[in-house]
A = this chain, B = another copy of it.
């Protein structure tokens, strides 16, 4: 669906190998779109076949050689087309919400640890995003003036920060609710 397009955006921001793309999908662009190396290699192959991207073998010392991919004309056009196409507004997909509703048929108290674990993960992500924001956009090390691309990246990151803050508040609400109803069974 959009993995191709996410790869195009990432390669326009900076050309790189399949491995490097996989790393980027663990952070940066990966905050909003995840992909594993297996998916990425498969899609890269197809995109080269379609003429969307070019490959260049880059010999390296001390490391295995790599293939550096960069966006070709047809790839740029494909991205521009996709930007003009409407995409579906996406909803949430939360295992945890299903679990919370399921808790009514088990022991709600047993879910407390799980919710607290999620809370820790989201708190860490928030810290990580805030550090990235300071590093790249708001801190003393950040460039004094941002170009359009950086402004947009910052806006996307602010969205991630807002999401994590909202999620933390939501999980606190869950914990309060779980504790209020105690370990009662219905």
Interface residues of A (CB under 8 A from B): 1-2, 5-6, 8-9, 12-13, 29, 31-34, 76, 79-80, 82-84, 86-106, 108, 110-111, 114, 117-118, 121-122, 125, 147-149, 151-156, 158-160, 162-163, 165-166, 169-170, 173-174, 177-178, 180-181, 184-186
Contact = CB atoms under 8 A, between A and B. Distances in A.
A29 B173 contact: no
Given A80-B106, A155-B174, A173-B155, A95 B88 contact: yes
DSSP majority for the A interface? helix
A38 to B, nearest CB: 18
A167 to B, nearest CB: 8
30 contacts: A2-B98, A5-B98, A8-B102, A29-B101, A31-B91, A32-B94, A32-B98, A33-B93, A33-B97, A80-B106, A82-B99, A83-B102, A83-B106, A83-B111, A84-B110, A86-B114, A88-B95, A89-B117, A89-B118, A89-B121, A100-B155, A101-B153, A104-B147, A104-B148, A104-B149, A104-B152, A108-B148, A147-B186, A148-B181, A159-B174
